[in-house]
Structure 1
Amino acid sequence: MVYEASSNRYENMKYNRVGRSGLKIPAVSLGLWHNFGGQDLYENGRAMVRRSFDLGITHFDLANNYGPPQGSAEEAFGKMLASDLKPYRDELIISTKAGYWMWPGPYGDNGSRKYLISSLDQSLKRMGLDYVDIFYHHRPDPDTPLEETMGALDQIVRSGKALYVGISNYRPAEAKRAIEILKDLGTPLLIHQPNYNMFDRWIEDGLQDVLDEGGVGSIVFSPLAQGLLTNKYLGGIPSDSRAASAHGFLKESHVTPEVLAKVSKLNDIAVARGQTLAQLALAWALRGGRVTSVLIGASRVSQIDDNVAALNNLDFSVEELARIEAILK
């Protein structure tokens, strides 16, 4: 059956301006880091992408190494574009990244001009695209001059292979210098993608100030702390969770009794607000307007519905914020 997007897809989504640019992105964006690769069911991923767009999620975030295996998420998304989303290309913000290992030899990793441009060419081929909307350098590379890396991003925009550029995982001083270099080159930095959630608040220590001063937006990944800030861990560590897996970033050793006690108390606040714990965590990350978008992951359609519903209640009372701070302290 031919896919036709929902006619009311823009009625309930909130769109935020990215820094001082003219671009707006949805407050909730979909990341294809997990569950969209060659080891995952294609039709499940396809259903999640369709449902996301029907809910007004126009931004789909990828990277060259997403899968597993590497490259397979981009290949799967390229099939979805061809079969379902091609008529809506001008309504979509598609981003990808390069910065981690992709192929053997000295040119398949890090931040050289050679690697970044070669990687983007491969990503475009995998997705069947002429350009991406945002191209990121995925992580700082201490072995490559920042001027070369930012110069490559500038060249990529001028070549028409990306409309905007971003950085990810850069610390405040590195981000400030990147902003300055790109400003001098005439290709302003659009956006920064750091990790941020109730249990990992490092961006509050300087980075948000740097981005505000530079007119740069932010889209945060892991806003649910790899699932820890969901109802999955309210009863302990499930056998099918990331914490129980040997391959995830969230380790069983991270899920201590003290952490689980905090999760339970946060859930009490969520229930009082008429939200799930995940909705509370997403609304909290978006509080104050300093985060442009939260980047969610999902393994099934129902999680996307639940996450987007966080936008129904983004306001916090002074008392609620104080209670949350007391729990997290």
Structure 2
Amino acid sequence: MNINDSFSHDLYQADNNRYDTMQYRRCGNSGIRLPLLSLGLWHNFGHTNDLEKGRELLRCAFDNGITHFDLANNYGPPYGAAEENFGRIFQQDFKPYRDELIISSKAGWDMWPGPYGNFGSRKYLIASADQSLKRMGLEYVDIFYHHRPDPDTPLEETMGALHHLVQRGKALYAGISQYPADLTARAAKIMKDLGTPLLIHQPRYNMFDRWVEDGLLVELEKQGMGSIAFSPLEQGVLTNKYLNGIPEDSRAKKDGRYLQEEQITPEILEKVKRLNNLAQTRGQSLAQMAIAWLLKDERISTVLIGVSRREQLLDNIAGLSNLSFTDSELKEIKEILG
């Protein structure tokens, strides 16, 4: 069903107790506190998805204190669709709550044809931000990110564009994604000199992808920047989905863009099974433990989750009740991961 064919207009009233249980963590040295879980609209909000399901996820998230919704210009399919659909839901459900929300978007990957629809030029970033605001029906986003490093555009130009967007009120804060430690330090210096400090870094980080531990987390702490970890469950590998092989309806079978079937090796499955056994001794699902493992580090301001069902979202939220690990548990996890 096309997402635009299924929109109903029932009135949404947010849960009065939405802030009672969610935990919030300060984002670096800023005045912003983020929920320990943020909801990403990377999947499940394109024109091929069901609008009511996406709407249900956004409502459930906000009703449980998740105040941060994360988008990008090319989320879909097609490109731009997630922002369009979020904009429709925002106008219907969340407009009265705008000042309670952190809404982010990004630009840096391919978005439109030609030489000006990709990477990190001033022309691309400013045009993309304008397009994103129009699609979502917003006057500003709370955070605008450069989505990935650009090896060819001068860093001063890219950071200057982010500074411009903040100065013009199109974004309240600026961020970067997937920048290595050395480039992060350079970007932070440029932005500090311009007078618009970088608020946050969005790196890929999970038990199986720990590159941020090789200097980036130390640099973020040094710069006073927060971080939001994406792909915390390694595209579903760090769940119980693959414990008995690769299901026909799994992302590895259906969509090879982000997770290939050959990546789920017998060695990986053995590690997943051992991690799952440990999670059970903690009274958690594997997904809950994987998220808790990230949040044990205070330098991780929030974890970005992407879910397709309300039950998954509630399971992730429930896992926040147990974020501590014993020394023996951490030792066992280290041994399993190798």
Provide TM-score, normalisation by structure 2.
0.96
Match of 1:43 in 2: 52
Q: Which residue is equivalent to 1:20?
A: 29
Q: Give 1:116's aligned residue.
A: 125
The amino acid that maps onto 1:101 is D
Secondary structure of residue in 2 paired with 1:190: strand
Structure 2 equivalent of residue 196 of structure 1: 205
Alpha-carbon deviation of 1:101?
1.0
Alignment partner of 1:5 is 2:14: yes
Q: CA deviation at 1:248?
A: 3.1
Displacement of 1:244 after TM fit? 1.4
Counterpart of 2:105 in 1: which secondary structure? strand
What is the DSSP-based 3-state SS (H/G/I as helix, E as strand, rest coil) of the residue aligned with 2:257?
coil
- The residue number in structure 1 matching 2:262 is 253
State the distance in 1 between where 2:326 and 2:256 align. 39
Residues 120 and 158, structure 2, Cα contact 8 Å, conserved in 1 = yes
Is the 1:242–1:248 Cα contact (8 Å) retained in structure 2? Answer: no
* Map of 1:264 onto structure 2: 273
**What amino acid sits opposite 1:303 in the alignment?**
Q
Aligned to 1:244, the other structure's residue is in SS state helix
Give how far 1:310 is off: 1.3
CA contact 1:223–1:282 (8 Å) conserved in 2: yes
AA in 2 matched with 1:31: G
Moved over 4 A (4+): none
Q: How far apart are the structure 2 equivalents of 1:167 and 1:148?
A: 14
| Distance across 1 between alignment mates of 2:98 and 2:194 | 29
Pairing of 1:206-221 with structure 2 (within 5 A) = 206-221=215-230
Cα deviations by residue, 1:273-317 (Å, 9 ceiling, x for unpaired): 111100000000111212110000011111100011111100101
5+ residue gaps, structure 1, are none
Distance between the aligned counterparts of 2:117 and 2:223, measured in 1? 31
Give the match's secondary structure for 2:198: coil
Given that 2:275 and 2:333 are in contact with CA atoms closer than 8 Å, whether structure 1 keeps it comes out as yes
The CA deviation at 1:246 is 4.3
1:302 is matched by which residue type in structure 2? E
What letter matches 1:3 in structure 2? Y
Distance 2:62 2:255 in 1: 33
CA contact (8 A) 1:107 1:115 kept: yes
SS, match of residue 63 in structure 1: coil
CA distance in 1 between counterparts of 2:74 and 2:162 reads 18
- Residue equivalent to 2:292: 283
Residue type of the alignment partner of 1:231: N
CA distance in 2, matches of 1:114, 1:75: 22
Indicate if the aligned counterparts of 2:145 and 2:174 stay in contact, CA closer than 8 A.
Answer: yes
1:159-170, aligned counterparts within 5 Å?
A: 159-170=168-179
**Cα distance, 1:245 vs. partner?**
2.5
State how 1:98-137 maps to structure 2 within 5 Å: 98-137=107-146
Equivalent residue number for residue 73 of structure 2: 64
Q: Does 1:205 align with 2:241?
A: no
Q: Secondary structure at the match of 2:253?
A: coil
Under a length normalisation based on structure 1, what TM-score does the superposition of the two structures give?
0.99
Question: 1-side partners of 2:257 and 2:33: how far apart?
Answer: 32
Q: In the alignment, which of 79, 86, 90 is matched to residue 81 of structure 1?
A: 90
**Secondary structure of residue in 1 paired with 2:56:** helix
Find out whether 1:313 has 2:322 as its counterpart.
yes
SS in 1 for 2:113: coil
Partner SS for 1:289: coil
Q: Separation in 1 of the partners of 2:267 and 2:32?
A: 41
- One-letter amino acid of the structure 2 residue matched with residue 196 of structure 1: Y
The residue aligned with 1:157 is: 166
Q: Per-residue CA shift, 1:9-39, capped at 9, x if unaligned?
A: 1011110100000001101000000011111
Name 1:325's counterpart in structure 2.
Answer: 334
Conserved? CA contact 2:28–2:299, under 8 Å? no
In 1, the alpha carbon distance for the partners of 2:74 and 2:112 equals 10
| One-letter code aligned to 1:133 | D
Q: For 2:69, what is the secondary structure of its paired residue?
A: strand
Q: SS at the partner of 2:297?
A: helix
- For structure 2, the residue ranges without an aligned partner over 5 or more in a row are 1-9
Q: SS state of the match for residue 243, structure 1?
A: helix
Task: Report the 3-state secondary structure (helix = DSSP H, G, I; strand = E; otherwise coil) of the residue aligned with 2:91.
Answer: helix
d(CA) in 2 for partners of 1:247 and 1:35?
16
- Listed one character per residue, the Cα deviations across residues 50-90 of structure 1 (whole Å, up to 9, x for unaligned) are 00000100000000000111000000000110000011000
